[in-house]
Amino acid sequence: MSVRAQKRLLIFSCSLAISICLALAATPLSCAAQTIVDEWNTVKAPPAPELKSVTIDPKVTALLILDLQKQICTPERIRCQVSLPIVQGLLTRARAKGVPVIYSLGRGTAADIYSEVAPQAGEPLVTSGPDKFWGTDLEKILKEKGITTVIVVGTAAHGAVLYTASGAALRGLKVVVPVDGMSADEAYTEQYTAWHLLNAPRVGAQVTLTRIDMIQYP
C-alpha cells in the first residue's frame, strides 16, 4: 500500500472513530439506565399458576395456623376476615383426621386468636415475627412429631405465610399453601406471595399451591 493510501486510510479511520464517539455521546443511555421502577407500569403479570389437588397423610402432616389474631386480622382487613370461615373448615377436617395443629402469634396470647380457629388444649403455640422458626421451638416440634409436610395458612401472606413456608421448604419439608387460606390487605400482595413461593430458588420445588377444597385425605 502506498504512503498516500495509508494516510487516506488513517484519516478515514480517525474520522469514523470520531463520528461513532459523537453519536454515542448524543444517544440517551435509556437502556442502561432502565430499572424496575422505570418499567413498573409496563410489567405484565405472569400466567396464573395451576392449583393442584393434594392428598394428605395425617401421620406426617401438620397444619400451621399463623397469626389469625384480633390485633393483626382486624375488621378493616376484609380479605383476612373472609378467610376465617374457610380456614375454620380446613381446621375442622384436619382435626377430625388426626392432623396435628400448630399455632403462631405475632404478639399477645392464645386468647387473642379468633374463636372460630382458636387452639384446643395441648395444641402448640409459638410467638415470633414473620418467620415462625426464628427464636421458637417450631422446628423441634415438627421433628418430634415426625412431620414431613406442612399446610400453611394465615396472615399476612407476605409476612408469616411467606417466611414460614419458605423456612419450612428450606428445611426440606414439603409445603402446601391453600391460596384461599392466606390473606393480605391487597390482592396484589397475595398474587406476589403465590408467585414467590413457586419461583424462589430451593423453595419452589418444595411448594404446592392449592385450594382448601382441593385438599383430600386417604
- Residue 208's Cα: distance from chain center in Å? 11
What are 85's three cell numbers?
Answer: 370461615
- Taking the domains of the chain in order of start, what are their residue ranges? 3-40, 54-216
SS3 category, 148: coil
- What confidence tens digit (pLDDT) does each residue in 24-55 have? 455 454 455 699 999 999 999 999 999 999 99
Residue type, 87: V
Q: What is the pLDDT of residue 2?
A: 60
Which residue, 151, 94, 136, 144, is CA-closest to 119?
Answer: 94
Rounded to whole angstroms, how far apart are CA atoms 112 and 59? 29
Q: CATH for 54-216?
A: 3.40.50.850
Q: Which of 5-14, 49-58, 69-78, 137-146 has the lowest mean pLDDT?
A: 5-14
Q: What is the pLDDT of residue 194?
A: 98
Residue written as cell 392466606? 182
